[in-house]
Chains A and B, each alone.
Chain A
Amino acid sequence: MAKTILTVDDSPTMREMLRSCLTGADFNVVTAEHGADGLDKLQESQPDVVITDINMPVMDGFEFIENVRQSQVSNRMPILVLTTESHQDMKMRAKNAGATGWIVKPFVPEKLIDAINRVMP
């Protein structure tokens, strides 16, 4: 069965890019528009890997990851952070929040798939 990936990004463009890339690599893709939406979708779709943006309205990526890590069901879910912030402190903040790894935008599809495969259970 195809693996499911949840992408959390407020930008419709990024969501479509990701969807396009990931469905092309035979993943099921579920999208969410921000962290809070992501938490809902996480429960509904039970993804194998989550990819999240950091800078989002309503609930940002840090808060989203923290919430996932504190949740009952999905607390050990691999979560990749997709961010244009290449700064080390951004990565460290994400990591401290509980991110599994990060992908720097703009991403190259192969790198994205590589990154996912690195954490895919």
Chain B
Amino acid sequence: MNLDEIKDTFFTECAEQLAEVESAFCVVQIDGLDIENVNAIFRAVHSIKGGAGAFGFSDLVSFSHVVENALDIVRNDISQGTDDRLNLLARSMDVLSDIVDATREDGEKVDDAEITAELKAMFNLGGEDGQPESTAVEIDYDPVPISLTDLDLGDTSSGNVFEIVFEPKSSLYENGHDPQRILRHLGELGTCTTVVDDSKVPALDTLSPDEAFLGWTIKLDTESSEEDVREAFDWVEGDCTLSIKLEQPEIDGGGDIDDILSGLEDFDLGEDPDEAAPAESNDASVEDAGAGGKADVTVEAVVEAVPDEKQNAAGKPPAAANKDQQAAAAKKSNQTIRVESQKVDRLINLMGELVINQAMVSEQVTQDGFSSSSPTALLMVEFQNLTREVQESVMAIRAQPVKPVFMRMSRILREVCSVTGKKAALVLEGENTEVDTTVIEGLTDPLTHMIRNSIDHGIESPEDRVAAGKPETGTIKLSALHSSGRIVINVEDDGAGINRERVLQMGIEKGIVSENADLSDNDIDSLIMAPGFSTAEAVTDLSGRGVGMDVVRQSIQSLGGRISISSKPGQGSQFSMSMPLTLAILDGMVVRAAGQVFVIPVSAVLETFNMKPGDVHKIGNDDQVLKLRGNLVPIIQVGHQLGFCGKQDDNSGGTVLVVEAGNNAMAALLVDSIDGQRQVVIKSLESNYDRVPCIAAATIMGNGQIALILDVEEIIARQSRAAAESNSNILKMEMIA
């Protein structure tokens, strides 16, 4: 893995960590502050700082350092986390996220001066702690021991001779140290003469392998300073008795050094608390005793013995180990594996092939005249069920909770609130609801739009809210749930609701509805999502709702979803979206028109029936409508609309599918026949071709041929445009209704 790849890893990690942070902040916002979430946030920022330091991303290091310091204060005393402070921290996370982005893109430096100042002021991070600590970090980074002694002795070429008395305590071994390494390290500093002191090694029968018995006296002739020598022992401070004496001081500083050294000895903890620990193994090896028995052994010989001592100390009762294992196993239970998404995509593609293949075999079996009760047909049913199950399991692999997208919304909320001066809190529900990643990707934009819209046009100003007897802070509830094989996402606010009078007026002004149209409340609410309703003018003019909702509806529909709206004046509005769980597979109605096979998403179909002569009414010269329970629904001849055949005057005998697009626009699609309903694997036309008007995607049928999946929304929209051109106001009205 090269550095660039590690950088990629780092930025992926940053994204994950920031998502964690958002998640924790959301919980804090709803459930109040608790140490667990503060720790999670701290850990995330800490990790980002660590990685950033490794790459020398100094902007990121210095800002995350300030944030970390602020968080540390809250972490140490939760009562320090006042609302103001938490808000500031939340905003800091947004800046942090921006700095991460800027760092990744190599973009313009993010101006964090203001928020840094705010952080320092609010958390009293004055002075050293609050400094962007690039300097401090560099010191951490490269702790080169600058030895004053070295400098003082700079002129002298001859070395020093230190007498080092080194007696490890058992804790030294217990912490994984090995005197051999330390002695070798000293050997690298100069010439060592080492004498081992084995006087404390007891007789074999009383030897406890957990205890330390050996000591060394080393004479070290070196050019290194006393600090360098001391550094060799810095990790074992307290784990040994150590004295370092300079035997041949070259300058008049010997006394001082002695003072330092005696101070060092004072620092020793003296009693080793572990020495009292009972030995649990009695089978000390003969080698141990042998090593202990020899006098004046060389360093090498002693070192031989030490690892043995280590190994023998491993004689704990198995129960202890079992307990460790159990603890580890318990912590392991929620394990995940990371798989490249490409591998999953390949699996899903293959799964698609399998579904198609299964359909082909199935079709062939029927064609070959096997009765439905024949063993072959029964096996086919089993095969079909299995295929479906495997397919669902495979799709589940790619399913992800909507949480990350929901979390992003809390940032949008903060930003819009700070721009508009409104107050709103985001409440999340069902954020662990899972849906295919393709859907998740498509959700971010429409949701962002809706949250913005809800605050901008739904939630009232704090003063207005108070005046209306509502809490000052508005609530926006974002929820997700599974319902009959689809995911339903609701965005609900407790704002002012839709200003119907205004919306209707706008609709008339825009020519979307006729002046004397009789519209239900719901019809009017739905107007805000009608094509052509939102315009630049509307953005500045409209005090109700409606900005860009057309765009939202389009993106939801491109996900195969539908959106509906309900609003109560003074109490708020609710947007409800229902989407398929995956964009890879679709429940489709297979139809024939103009000699071609097409698939219509079942989700769009309201009802189907065969056309009878009296059903059709002509409007003007060209347009035909269907009278359906008092409503007039425009008839769209699919074959003609797609340009495959001319317009037919006689529609009787055809089959009609009444379809609905998200904005409640209805149409009757006229086809030659309906072949049936089945799941189809969605194949993109865009990967090798381009978007095709009126076509959402393609699929491969049982016979291996391609069938096109109709884009109901666009077919209706085209028809509606055509109708508008032929100046039929009534029809336009019906489109909306």
Contact = CB atoms under 8 A, between A and B. Distances in A.
B140 A11 contact: no
A75 B327 CA distance: 17
A40 B321 contact: no
Given A84-B50, A84-B140, A121 B328 contact: no
A108 B315 CA distance: 38
B137 A13 contact: no
Contacts of B2: 20
Which of A10, A11, A118: most chain B CB closer than 10 A?
Answer: A11
Interface residues of A, number: 48
A100 B318 contact: no
Given A39-B324, A39-B328, A58-B331, A119 B6 contact: no
Contacts of A70: 320, 324
B141 A76 contact: no
Contacts of A106: 50, 53-54, 56, 137, 140-141
Nearest to B138: A106
Given A98-B174, A104-B140, A119-B176, A55 B310 contact: no
Interface in A96-116: 98-102, 104-108, 111
A100 B181 CA distance: 12
A118 B181 contact: yes
B181 A14 contact: no
**How large, as a class, is the contact surface on chain B?**
35 or more
Contacts of B315: 72
Contact of B50 (A20, A79, A105): A105
Majority-rule SS of B interface residues: helix
Contacts of B177: 78, 100, 119
A84 B173 contact: no
A71 B315 CA distance: 10
Contacts of B51: 11, 13-14, 17
Given A10-B47, A86-B140, A121-B307, A17 B54 contact: yes
Contact of A73 (B12, B42, B143, B321): B321
B314 A102 contact: no
A46 interface: no
B313 interface: yes
Interface string A29-67: 000000011011001000000000001111100000001
Contacts, number: 143
Contacts of A57: 40, 43
Contacts of B143: 104
A52 to B, nearest CB: 12
A121 B309 CA distance: 13
B46 interface: yes
A72 B175 contact: no
B140 A105 contact: yes
Nearest to A36: B331
A72 to B, nearest CB: 4
Contacts of A79: 175-176
Contacts of B235: 95, 100-102, 118-119
A6 interface: no
B178 A95 contact: no
B142 interface: yes
Contacts of A55: 42-43, 46-47
A109 B140 CA distance: 14
Interface in B176-193: 176-178, 181, 185
A10 B235 CA distance: 24
Nearest to B329: A40
B332 A100 contact: no
Contact of A16 (B1, B53, B142, B181): B1
Contacts of B139: 86
A8 interface: no
Which of B6, B181, B313, B325: most chain A CB closer than 10 A?
Answer: B6
B414 interface: no
Contacts of A105: 50, 53-54, 140
A111 B12 CA distance: 27
Which of A57, A99, A102, A118: most chain B CB closer than 10 A?
Answer: A118
A120 B433 CA distance: 48
A75 B174 contact: yes
A115 to B, nearest CB: 9
B54 A13 contact: yes
Given A36-B332, A108-B141, A77 B176 contact: yes
B320 A78 contact: no
A73 B317 CA distance: 11
Interface in B2-43: 2-3, 5-6, 9-10, 12-13, 40, 42-43
Which of B5, B12, B142: most chain A CB closer than 10 A?
Answer: B142
Contacts of A40: 328, 332
Interface in B319-353: 320-321, 324-325, 327-328, 331-332
5 contacts: A13-B6, A39-B327, A58-B331, A72-B314, A84-B46
Given A37-B332, A72-B318, A76-B313, 4 more contacts: A12-B13, A13-B51, A76-B173, A95-B238
**Which 6 residue pairs across A and B have the least CB separation, nearest first?**
A36-B331, A106-B53, A13-B10, A13-B51, A100-B176, A101-B235
Interface of B: 1-3, 5-6, 9-10, 12-13, 40, 42-43, 46-47, 49-51, 53-54, 56, 137, 139-143, 173-178, 181, 185, 235, 238, 307, 310, 313-316, 318, 320-321, 324-325, 327-328, 331-332
